[in-house]
Structure 1
């Protein structure tokens, strides 16, 4: 298998990117990155495309809500435009895959909820084809709370979504969800096209559980890739079809560009990504 391409989820530098889009992308290019994963791109596709072109970067993947009327995150809610609007913006930027970043906990706790998630994603996949795009899903930890007949809600979801749907596995959140990350990578197999390279110390309990206290990303003890609990090397080596190794920090431990460069060097120097 060819090495996956190194990328970075721009949510990691949300503050810096909002303050200085061009300068932030230039810094990423100086680090050596050639790809990014955009977020919050639907309201400003032309601006983002121009900034990417100026920095010599591409955004082959991007995050946008496709499955929720409103997207909750630990740092606030994001309104959701119609799928067609999302796909028009993604095509303008030059993306190939639009990935839903999160579906809230309560919808993962019942079989009907999981079926609805899969049905919506399958429908979005069909619509995306009209724009020359694919869709995908990115996990957190709530997908692993419920079990149905010995299978997690996430495993049930995988059995229900069309094979054309791309899977992006966030290694840190899968670990927080109590998963054997390497085994999960093997189970997903060739459907796994992107991995979120994220490390840290897993909290003692799943913060997405219904009875968990409300939390924000600032409470997370996240580390540079290779410095935490996540078996990043083993997971990437177990992957059979991963195209993108996407660096992400929900809460960068230090200066964010230095943190990104640290994880980038971990990937490149370790022969894990190109």
Structure 2
């Protein structure tokens, strides 16, 4: 999320994007294409509803029904758009959609946040965003994530963390992402890797997956143009087949997202069709 980051890439960040792209963008060879057989099961394809926030505020039922018509059976929440958890769950049920995952804050009333997650039927939850100026603050935040994750785990809902690009920018020579992964309990806190923001930050998603195995269980799938802008899945230069082939044995959800789509439902359709048809 936080689409303003995509609009303000610095020269240094763009250089990092170019470097990461060398590892993630190369097109598959003819031999690779000939031997690619794996696919993403339909029940692992989801969409982050933040991508459709402009539509959901005024017409949640029509928007969710349209997603179901596209073929989605799962969604990831980012709020309930003025509806209570009970009201939004009823809409999801009428549209035959499961809110299998959600983005939540952890600084409010955890008991109420967890209660709403249970009403909504969430199986996973993720902290969507954090940003601090010092490593000490990142360490303190990791402690709060551990505390929240323990409470979520008691409710049967594992808690994870969703990255942006800034976690891969060093502070005093230390990466905040390394602090998060080292200081959070790997038995409690999983990782939801946003592939666009990871590449934007200069990270290789395959290396992130391998270094943090088996904690990476979800991907946000959004693509990148050659000049570093966000675009719909499958329409840019990120080599998703390479990433998926290296990690498919541990990824439970591939979640379509675009932070600032010009046509949200078209993004949803393009993303679903790409994930449904991609082979690796």
Counterpart Cα distance in 1 of 2:66 and 2:276: 17
Find the counterpart in structure 1 of residue 182 from structure 2. 159
Find the counterpart in structure 2 of residue 60 from structure 1. 100
Listed as ranges, the gaps of 5+ residues in structure 1 are: 69-80, 205-220
TM-score, reference length from structure 1 = 0.81
- Deviation, 1:171, is 0.4
Find the counterpart in structure 2 of residue 33 from structure 1. 72
Residues 89-137 of structure 1: CA deviation (Å, up to 9, x unaligned): 0011111111110002xx1x42212211210010001111232221111
Find the counterpart in structure 2 of residue 248 from structure 1. 257
Find the counterpart in structure 2 of residue 49 from structure 1. 89
Find the counterpart in structure 2 of residue 238 from structure 1. 246
Q: Secondary structure at the match of 1:19?
A: coil
- Deviation, 1:2, is 9.0
Find the counterpart in structure 2 of residue 98 from structure 1. 125
Residues 63-107 of structure 1: CA deviation (Å, up to 9, x unaligned): 1112x5xxxxxxxxxxxx322221110011111111110002xx1
Counterpart Cα distance in 1 of 2:209 and 2:242: 10
**Which has the larger share of strand?**
1
Task: Provide the aligned length of Structure 1 versus Structure 2.
Answer: 238
Counterpart Cα distance in 2 of 1:271 and 1:53: 31
Listed as ranges, the gaps of 5+ residues in structure 2 are: 1-37
Counterpart Cα distance in 1 of 2:163 and 2:87: 28
Find the counterpart in structure 2 of residue 207 from structure 1. none
Aligned CA-pair RMSD: 2.1
Tell whether the 8 Å contact from 1:128 to 1:134 is kept in structure 2 after alignment: yes
Q: Could you tell which deviates more after superposition, 235-244 or 24-33?
A: 235-244
Counterpart Cα distance in 1 of 2:46 and 2:113: 21
Tell whether the 8 Å contact from 1:39 to 1:63 is kept in structure 2 after alignment: yes
Rg larger for: 2
Tell whether the 8 Å contact from 1:166 to 1:193 is kept in structure 2 after alignment: yes
